[in-house]
Amino acid sequence: MPGVSVRYIVEDVDESIAFYTARLGFEEVMHPAPSFAMLSRGDLRLLLSKPSGAGGGGQAMPDGTRPEPGGWNRFSLEVDDLTSRVEELPASASATRS
């Protein structure tokens, strides 16, 4: 599924699934845990995470700061070869500074 992924922190994943599917035309792709769901609409994947102590997008920062709805959004880009892309990034950053 190519496209863009956006992580959105929400207080109630079930309520958010209902809103995005019924009101905005998203489809539920997966809901494997109470604190996470993936929805899609065209090339957009919406990853819903509830703040939690567990891993994933809802986990606290190392300093203990907990994520809150409306301020901890992320996006993900798909690449064909992650290892090569990671190796290329430092070189391309240096080239753009020159």
Where do the structural domains in the chain lie, given as residue ranges? 4-97
Q: Where are the alpha helices (DSSP H) in the chain?
A: 13-24, 82-97
* pLDDT of 79 above 80: no
Q: What is the pLDDT of residues 26-75, one digit of tens each?
A: 999 999 988 899 999 889 999 998 887 666 666 777 887 777 766 655 65
* pLDDT of 1 above 50: no
pLDDT band of residue 6 (cuts 50, 70, 90) is confident
Tokens of 69: 């709805």
pTM for the model: 0.64
User: For 4-97, which CATH class?
Assistant: alpha beta
* pLDDT of 23 above 70: yes
Neighbours of 29 (CB within 10 A): 13
